């Protein structure tokens, strides 16, 4: 570990020197690349330099204990040795965590797709509730949320909805939300007060830039048609809705929320790129199938990850056996305790590997 940290310090110094040269400073692409690399390792380097300073203090305390005969000074040296030893142990654990290979998608924005599963209208209503929960969470984080496409039901829910969340390291916080979310509650339409169980699926896709996914225009089949459903007087009068089919993979994306065909097409392409990037990464993960699964789950849409029990005000994440009796606050966007527990479990699993 020490050798790896020394190598990182060397790389940090080299990149910083090169950023000050005319060759890199006058080349925007090179400069951005260098700056990105420096930023990605800066925290680790600073913590390691702190570790080295404390290690030096420990050496001085131990030398004093070897050479000093004065009782009072020896007591001071022993206290210094014990304190610095404890600090070094804590820092060593932090450095192990910082050396865990970073997910290249962690800094990306995300596209979230939520679809109603079993449970009929109640499942559609819960799609709306989860959308509101993630919207509130995004507001608390000062992120931006934008609906890309939706297919609403008659009772105020959604058959499916896709939205984009933009901000600082969004994927790193919400990447473990993918899977089946189960809800247990008395539906508004239930006359006899019986608890029903419904389910929805959530997919969290890192937003893909054009450089991440190369799409050949000749491999796209694009249909335009008139929007359907509620949306005002302009919705059904022009061919503004767009459906894009990626022929090699069969992935189909449709957008009709905007009045402008151009805007619907741009949103559809954004979703398509994210789905194709996810498809590409799933294939790469399959090639590495010999590696052990992270304990908090794979993000597979078929995996039941969480239950929201409204009668008991209980939220349970089944992957890490976490139960919180604060469902009312979680549904208002106070999701951070769940997210922190998932990130911690992920780090623990990777450290054990």
What are phi and psi for residue 293, nearest 5 degrees? -70, 140
The model's pLDDT over 111-160, given as tens digits with 9 standing for 90+, comes to 999 999 988 888 999 999 999 999 999 999 999 999 988 888 877 789 99
The separation between CA 307 and the C-alpha centre of its own chain, rounded to angstroms, equals 20
The pLDDT of residue 284 is 67
Q: Give all domains of the chain, ordered by start, each with its CATH number.
A: 2-98 (no CATH), 110-211+299-352 (3.30.70.1660), 217-287 (3.30.160.20)
Residue among 282, 281, 251 nearest 268 (CA): 251
Separation of alpha carbons 105 and 338, rounded Å: 20
Round to the nearest angstrom and report the end-to-end CA distance of the chain: 15
The answer, yes or no, to whether residue 236 has pLDDT greater than 80, is: no
The pLDDT of residue 296 is 45
Separation of alpha carbons 310 and 293, rounded Å: 31
The pLDDT of residue 294 is 41
Average pLDDT for 215-231: 77
Average pLDDT for 259-273: 86
The pLDDT of residue 291 is 42
DSSP annotation string for 260-283: -HHHHHHHHHHHHHHHHHHHHHHH
80 and 63 in contact (C-beta within 8 Å)?
Answer: no
pTM: 0.71
Range from 16-30, 236-250, 276-290 carrying the lowest mean pLDDT: 276-290
153 and 114 in contact (C-beta within 8 Å)?
Answer: no
């Amino acid at each position: 570990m020490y050798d790896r940290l020394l190598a990182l310090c060397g790389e940090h110094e080299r990149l910083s020197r090169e950023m000050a040269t005319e060759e890199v400073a006058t080349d925007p692409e090179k400069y951005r690349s260098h700056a990105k690399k420096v930023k990605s390792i800066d925290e680790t380097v600073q913590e390691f330099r702190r570790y080295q300073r404390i290690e030096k203090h420990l050496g001085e305390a131990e030398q004093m204990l070897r050479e000093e005969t004065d009782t009072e000074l020896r007591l001071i040296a022993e206290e210094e040795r014990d304190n610095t030893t404890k600090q070094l142990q804590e820092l060593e654990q932090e450095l192990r965590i910082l050396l865990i290979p970073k997910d290249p998608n962690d800094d990306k924005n995300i596209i979230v797709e939520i679809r109603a599963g079993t449970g009929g209208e109640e499942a559609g209503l819960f799609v709306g509730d989860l959308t509101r929960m993630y919207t509130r969470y995004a507001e608390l984080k000062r992120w931006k949320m934008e609906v890309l496409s939706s297919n609403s039901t008659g009772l105020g829910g959604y058959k499916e909805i896709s939205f984009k969340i933009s901000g600082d390291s969004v994927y790193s916080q919400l990447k473990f939300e993918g899977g089946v979310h189960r809800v247990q509650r008395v539906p508004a339409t239930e006359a006899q007060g019986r608890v029903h169980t419904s389910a929805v699926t959530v997919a969290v896709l890192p937003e893909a830039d054009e450089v991440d996914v190369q799409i050949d225009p000749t491999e796209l089949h694009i249909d335009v048609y008139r929007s359907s459903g509620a949306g005002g007087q302009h919705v059904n009068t022009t061919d503004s809705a767009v459906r894009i089919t990626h022929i090699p993979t069969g992935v189909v994306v449709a957008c009709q929320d905007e009045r402008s065909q151009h805007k619907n097409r741009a949103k559809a392409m954004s979703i398509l790129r994210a789905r194709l990037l996810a498809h590409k990464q799933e294939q790469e993960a399959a090639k590495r199938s010999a590696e052990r699964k992270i304990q908090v789950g794979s993000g597979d849409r078929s995996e039941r990850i969480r239950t929201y029990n409204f009668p008991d005000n209980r939220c349970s994440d089944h992957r890490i056996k976490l139960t919180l009796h604060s469902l009312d606050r979680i549904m208002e966007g106070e999701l951070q305790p769940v997210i922190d527990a998932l990130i911690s479990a992920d780090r623990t699993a990777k450290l054990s590997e």
